[in-house]
Structure formats: structure tokens, C-alpha cells
Structure 1
């Protein structure tokens, strides 16, 4: 007897669209924006009160680019930026692109041994840095590691006379030299190195081209209908793709205005900037939106100009999304999914998607990209509706890890598919659900447990503000389920008994957390992702029960 049922569609999707890829360099694309909208605002740095029109912004970018030329920065030289969010960060981004230097993003949270590693591994010859941030004296740290970094010729500090002196080198008589340099550049040249968060060993430097990041920023902006009328509030770090690509490049490629609310995330400063600058778009990871929604006096902010924005970094709880749409007026907010190695966005929800698609999925494939879901062991494409590893291919895939061809080959296969390490399911309609990291999946007594499912369920508990679920070692079952909870009211914390009672008869027994840890905050990366590995390490050896 034959089975006449149709075979399930494979978990593969190709993004089509009527808008062509951009063939520009970043500098040429900025020139287009300046020609179209010279008098529109391009950048507002709220803490300092400074603002630039597109014409003024391009003039300052060119001045800094000429200063780089005067400092003998050649095409392909690596220029580091170790700074918090500020206008100078943005100027460095576009000025290095103007001359074909490779800007290397350095995490503001790095300590001396991490900075030394990046300076040496990338061969950074010129470094721009903040003076200090959150107790870190960047100048002292640079001087400490400088003897071990022979390529580093010069360090320039923002808000310091060294910045003013450096910019003064960009005299007008180098304008022709700048024009000739720009004419030598290809959109496929490497332009940016971003170090991915290393969970074991040192981080790897994802190397990205003009073509990678300009197009990714452009299409992210296209899908939320950016125009020169938009004003984009970016409280996420520029150090990460979320800020510098989805924020800066999405804005300038559409003639929109970039608004910097603070040096680092501050919920009150963010909402105040949205109100004062009449922002139409707001970015953040879910924990940022949660902090804003729970801010005392939240209801007093006028957020009526908002229409859209981007939430990314981790899954959005349903209740948070409902409040973002209803109370922050962000009816067209998008969920984005990606990774540094893919510039970063591969999947995005659309402005007219319903609540379920915005919270249950991370959207569908972007134009001009491909995604598929494969069996992690065999590489064979899985049928739709079944879990496997998410892979992506197209213009967004990095050139490789800087000076590490073997690690590049481990991440990008012979077909140029980038293997994300994420477990995902593609629905029949092409939307993708992320069910966890391959390394984060909990295997309890032979049962596969996906933390996202339990987290989403626990968000419904009236005492829980935020929750992360991880697996920790267990002598009998191999792993057990630990819920790390931030309570809604610190004076009335949740107990393990209450948590388990809430789950009883509603979750399968092996999914119910057997341990609980009540925290004030989660350990986070600078890009706003929860460091689950730290939670596992911190509580892995704790006694059973409440950690």
C-alpha cells in the first residue's frame, strides 16, 4: 500500500522583492542622502545637545576622513573604536568607510586582557576611545597594554584635546586626495570587524564589507517603511550591529535622523529623548522595553509620535509586546533575528503581522537572502514543522573571521551557508520560530527541553517580571531545569513551591523547573543578550532547590 499524502515542504525560503540590492560603498550612499536631503537632520546627540543636518554631518565626516589620510591610514588599515554611544562614534564609522579603512568595534565592557587581544589580533594601528566609562579609565588601560601591542601607533580620546588636535589635521587641501581614495574603493572591500562574544576561548572577528552591512541596514529600514520623515531613537550600543547597522545605516540610507539618547542604556533618558525629539522609531532588546514600561512615571511620557521600531536580541514575551503596541504606540514594531556574522539580520516580521507572529516567530526571510533548517548531524534540509539548525546564505554572510580561515570554514560551509548554531522550526507560511541554541537545549532524562517554551509560559506568572531558563547538571537525569527569575516586587519574591504549583498540570513534568534562583538582574552582554552560560556556571554546582 502506498502513502499518497504529499511530502512536507522543505524548510527552505528565498526572499524576493522588487527592490534591488545597493551597489554603493557606504560613502557613496551617504553622498546620495546628502544630495537628496541636505537640510534635513541627520544626527542628534541628546546628552551634548549637538545636532547635524545631512550637509553638516557629511562635512564633519569628510574632515575626519581627511585627518585619517593625513595620519597615513591606508586602505585596509585597521582603526579601532572603543567607546560608548556618542556622535563621534558615528563620525568614525562613516569616516573610516570613506577612506576604506577597516573599523574594528571594541566592546566598551572589555578589560585590559581583552582589549590587548583585539588590538593585537586585528593589528590595530590607530585607536579612538572614550576617556572613561562606569569606572573604567580607558586611557590608563590603553597605556597599560600598549607595550604588548606593537602595531598601535596612536590613541585618540573623545572629549579630550587629542580628538580636537586629530580632527584639525583634516585640512581642506586634502579634498582631492580623499576623492581619489574614494574612487579606489569597492563595495566588496572589508570595512568592519566585529568581535563575537566568545563563550570559550577568545572572541572571533567577523569581517564585514560595505555590501554586507549597507544592504542589511537598508533592507531592515525598508521593511519598516523608513523615509526622510523618520527619527530613529537608538539606545542600543553602536559597538554592536544592532546599533551601527540596523540603527545608523538604516537611517542614513533613507535620509532619516539618528537620535542618540545617552552614552549607554538609560530607560528614563530614552523615553525623554523620544518625547523631546519626536521620534517615530525606537530600538531595544526586550529587557530594555521591560525597563521602560516599568519605569516610575512611564505614563507621563508623550510617546505618541512613535509608530515603529525594532526589538531583537532575544524572544519577546507576549505581554511585553502587547504593552509596546498599546502603550508605546508602536503598532508597526518589528522583530528581527540575526547574528554578527550575517550583518546581522536574516529574518524580520512585517509591519502588518499579527501579535502571534511577532511573539511566536522571528519573522520571515529578508529580500535577497536564503534560509534553511537542516539536521545538525547530516546537513539534510528538514521538513517544515520540524526542528533543526538554522542556516542562512546571501549578500549578508561575512567575508570570514579575521585571520582565522579554519574557524571561518567551520562556520561557513562549502555552499556558503552560514551555520547559526540556533535550533529553529519553519512554519508552513515560511515564518521561523527559534526554539533555542543547540548548546542551550536541555536534555533531561533523555527528553529534549527547549528553554524558550518554558520562559514564555512563566511570563504569565503574576510575580515574574523577567525569566531565563537554563539547564544545570543533575546526577540522575543528566540535567535539570533551573528558572532564574527577576520578581515584579522584590519585597514579595517568588518561591519554588509557588513556581511549581503554577506549572502543575499545565507543563509536562520534565519541563517543570526543579530549581529557582531569584535575582535582581541577569548577566548581560553589551548588546543586551542574557549570558545564559554565566547563569549555568554560577548555579551549576549549587545544591538542589532554590539556588
Structure 2
């Protein structure tokens, strides 16, 4: 059964009183979900937005947003994800650029400067309220709005195969991803009593895929807006979870907090994706709690993970393969190519390419990751071919941060690089060269400027002022010397 048919069946047939979604330790029933989904569909039908219509959702990790997601996908429409993490101006620009006939968002989102105006300028604005009520906020869809036949989700990538861009995930891709991950309903049952915990934002492929996979398998869903230690531990204890996902930064948080082992005694495995997990961190977690950490590798373009560790693989191979991202999942092929595109032999480092039914074209897709594959088929990620910074699983483009800093009149030129960080993997840091005759406005003022225009994870952790940026003989900014300058400033 495809994802759309499965979600439609759940909305129609799940017993009304059965628990569906937990949020803030409160359960929302399938009856509540059905009511929200029906109200959403009614508004879309009244607006003439039938199957294949593109429906923009400013997707928050809340029960009403999951119900809206079910309504859109279960009725053959296309979800266009919009990030609530963006500052108002960027969100408004994203809405305008996406040419959407309708935008659905929570009440707080529509209070942000320019967001409601951007939504109604091109289409209809619908408000998804915490009560579950769907209300109109004005506007009307254009009669010639573009459709997306066969496309389930349009989503911004996080930059694995290049600079972030909006990609189209087809029905075929999502169905292939669910099959390869074995997230299929057991024995044809509609619902299961097991619980899946999703603590990654829905606007990230990890969170969205986690929600869809859980619903597809009929599991109850425990939803957290983001990872928060006390809430995560409480959910593991309450639901006696056997598996949970944690990014490397969250693994480190659990260890640093010295969470008592008995609180996590139900866990058999932890999966870790979105950012490379250091093997020593995984080993420390296993020593402390007796829980194996299974790494995965994937990207938005592939509608989820394409390689990783399973428990049997980990038990057999981890001692000799620690640090690998695992093996290709069923139906996935991996290869390494050089600058000329020719395939390299086992053990040689080059660009990782992926071929899978989970990709749009079903042909080889060249990623921005450097890697090598050993003779046993295990893939080893060695970094990136570009300068993208991966901060706790979220990818930051240095050029985006640099451009914002250079709008300040005191900044002549800025440069941004990733400073290694034990908890997050890397954090963006900036060095600014001051304009002639200008004083350093201070780190706080420049960070405030960044917060106005960037998402929280893009704001530099540290900003240092220098007379001149360090440069290579070719006059490019030297990122090595740049990081040295930041470290020196932090030591003063």
C-alpha cells in the first residue's frame, strides 16, 4: 500500500477514541485528528484546490500540523514545506517565491511582519489553531495556480548534494523509502500499540520522515518540538521505548548530564543521523548504557536514509568498522568517483554518488560528500567537497551568513568558517574586516543583526574583528588562519 492510501485509510478507519499523537504529555485521539483533517480538506475543496494542488504549510511540530499533513497527502495533494525557523522577512520571501495558491500556518506565524501579507498576495491563507479549528485569514487562490501531479512533497534540501534548493519528492520516492526501511504495517494491522518518538523538527527531512514512517506503520506518535533532555528521558521512560533517534549533539547531552542508566533501560538501540557521529562518542554511549548507536546516512533528495547500520551488522562488524556510516540499504547502490566522473576502486577517496529508486531520476546522484568504500561495502564519510558547516545536523552556508554581516556599515568584508565543536560537530564563527575609520560595533550588535535575518542555527557562535582578513597567495580568505584568529581571540 502506498503512503497516500495508507494515510487516507488511517484518517477514515482508525477508531475515534484511539490515541494518535502525544504532545506536551497530552494525547490527541484519532477522532480529533480526523476532525482537523476533514476541516482542512473542506477548506481546500471550497477553494477549488483538488488533487495535485500545491499546499504550502509552515510546518511546526504540533498535532494540528500533523493532521493537516495527513489531510493534504491523504487526498492526493502536494505538501510544500515552509520553515517556521526562518525570520519573518525570509519566510515571507520564501512564500512569495514559491508561488503558492494557499498557505497554512499557526496563529503566531501570521503575526510576523509581512508573512500574512505574502500569503494573501498570491493565494489563500488558512490558520491551523491549537484547538484544531481551521480558519480563513483572507486571500484567494489564483485560478491558474501550478499543480504537481505525482509529487508528494516539495521540500528545501539541507545541502547534501549542493547548495540548498527546493526538491520534489515523488510518491514513488516516498514509497520506496518506506519499503527499504521496513516501515511496513505488521500483519496488515491498521494500528499498533507501540510508540515512536520524534524530536526533530518536522520541517527537517529527519523529523518529517520520522512522522510519516511512524504513521505508515500504524504506531502512536510522541511529538516533541525539538530535543530537550528532560522531555526526551521522560518519554523514553513513560513509553518504554525500545528505539529512539538522537543526533550526535543529543548523544553528548545525554552523556554530559549523566542520565541514570535505569531511566534508559528499555532502549535497545539508538539511531543517529543528520550529522556524522564520532565513533568514540558512540562507543562511550554503548559503554555507559549498553545501547548500540546505529548511524545512518541520507539526504532530503533521497527521501530519507540510503545507508546505515542495522543491529545484526553492528554486532558483527562494528569492532572492525567503527566510524563507518554503514552499508547501502536494500535497493541502493553507492559508488565513489573522481573529479573526471570515473568510478574509483575500493579504498580511494572521492565524491560519493548514490543510485536508488528513492532519488528523483532513479539514476546516479552526485553528492557533496567526500567518502571511500571498503572491500566489504562499508562507506566512510571523510568530509565535504564544499564549505558547508554542519551544526548539530543543520547545514549552514557560510556565504549566507557572510552576506548578512556585510550589510552592517562598519563591516567592510566578512568571512565565515566552521569551528569544530565536541557537542554539535561544528559551529559557524565569523571574522570581520572593519571599514576604514569605523570601530568594531561589538559582537552583540552583529549577532542581533544576524538574528533578524537568519535562522537560529545560522547565527555565528563567535564574531571577531581584525584589521585585515587572512589570505592565501591567491588572495582567497585562508580558513585555516581564520580559525586560528578566532581561537586566539577566545583565549585572550
Partner of 1:394: 356
Per the TM alignment, residue 425 of structure 1 is displaced from its structure 2 partner at its CA by 0.5
> Paired residue for 2:272, among 307, 311, 314?
311
Distance 1:77 1:305 in 2: 43
How far did 1:103 drift? 1.0
- Per the TM alignment, residue 102 of structure 1 is displaced from its structure 2 partner at its CA by 1.5
Deviation at 1:229, TM superposition (A): 5.4
Matched, 1:233 2:197: yes
Closer, same or farther: CA 390–531 of 1 in aligned 2, 3 Å:
farther
Match of 1:76 among 40, 46, 52: 52
Correspondence for 2:23: 46
Alpha-carbon distance in 2 for matches of 1:237, 1:273: 17
Equivalent positions of 1:248-397 (< 5 A) are 248-260=211-223, 262-295=224-257, 298-299=259-260, 302-328=263-289, 330-331=291-292, 333-354=293-314, 355-356=318-319, 359-375=322-338, 377-397=339-359
Q: What is the CA-CA distance between 1:302 and the residue it aligns to?
A: 1.9
Who is 1:437 aligned against? 384
Match of 1:422?
369
- Cα distance change of structure 1 residues 306 and 358 upon mapping to structure 2, 3 Å threshold: farther
2 CA distance for matches of 1:79 and 1:539? 46
Distance verdict in 2 for CA 1:99–1:154, change over 3 Å: same
Q: Report the CA distance between 1:338 and its aligned residue.
A: 1.0
Give 1:287 shift.
0.4
TM-score norm. by structure 1 comes to 0.64
Q: Which runs of 5+ in 1 are unaligned?
A: 1-23, 133-137, 168-184, 400-414, 442-450, 453-467, 472-480, 489-522
**Secondary structure of 2:44's match?**
helix
Is 1:119 the counterpart of 2:83? The answer is no
Conserved in 2, the CA contact under 8 Å of 1:236 and 1:527?
no
Moved more, 357-366 or 428-437: 357-366
| Cα distance between partner residues in 2 of 1:143 and 1:295 | 41
Structure 2 residue aligned with 1:27: 4
1:49 Cα deviation from its structure 2 partner: 0.4
Partner of 1:164: 133
RMSD of aligned alpha carbons? 4.4
- 1:307 Cα deviation (Å)? 2.2
Give the structure-2-normalised TM-score.
Answer: 0.70
Q: Which residue of 2 aligns with 1:146?
A: 117
Alignment match, 1:92? 68
Asked if the contact 2:372–2:381 (Cα under 8 Å) also holds between the matched residues in 1, the reply is yes
Distance 1:433-1:71 versus aligned 2 partners, 3 A rule: same
Residue aligned with 1:543, SS: helix
Structure 1 distance, partners of 2:153, 2:202, is: 12
Q: For 1:368 and 1:25, how far apart are their aligned partners in 2?
A: 17
Task: Provide Cα deviations, 1:191-227, integer angstroms capped at 9, x if missing partner.
Answer: 111112469x98411111122123313432459x999
Cα contact 2:84–2:91 (8 A) shared by 1: no
Structure 2 residue matching 1:146: 3-state secondary structure: helix
Determine the C-alpha separation between the residues in 1 that align with 2:128 and 2:370.
42
Q: Distance in 2 between matches of 1:278 and 1:237?
A: 22
**SS of the residue 2:133 aligns to:** helix
Cα deviation, residue 382, structure 1:
0.6
Q: 1:537 to 1:195 in 2, by over 3 A?
A: farther
- Highest relative contact order (Cα 8 Å, sep 6+), 1 or 2? 1
Gaps of 5+ in 2: 137-146, 399-416, 425-450, 465-477
Aligned-residue offset at 1:343: 0.8
For residues 372-427 of structure 1, the C-alpha deviation after alignment (integer angstroms, 9 at most, x for no partner) is: 1111x21111101111111112211136xxxxxxxxxxxxxxx8321111111011
CA 1:233–1:301 in 2, change beyond 3 Å: closer, same or farther?
Answer: farther
Shift of 1:158: 2.9
Contact 1:311/1:334, CA 8 A, preserved across alignment: yes
Alignment of 1:439-478 (within 5 A): 439-440=386-387
Question: What is the CA distance between 1:146 and its match in structure 2?
Answer: 1.7
Displacement of 1:437 in angstroms is 0.5
1:65 matched to 2:41: yes
Distance 2:197 2:249 in 1: 16
SS in structure 1 of the partner of residue 350 of structure 2: strand
Give the whole-Å Cα distance in 1 for the aligned partners of 2:100 and 2:135: 17
Inter-CA distance 38–304: structure 2 relative to 1 (3 Å threshold): farther
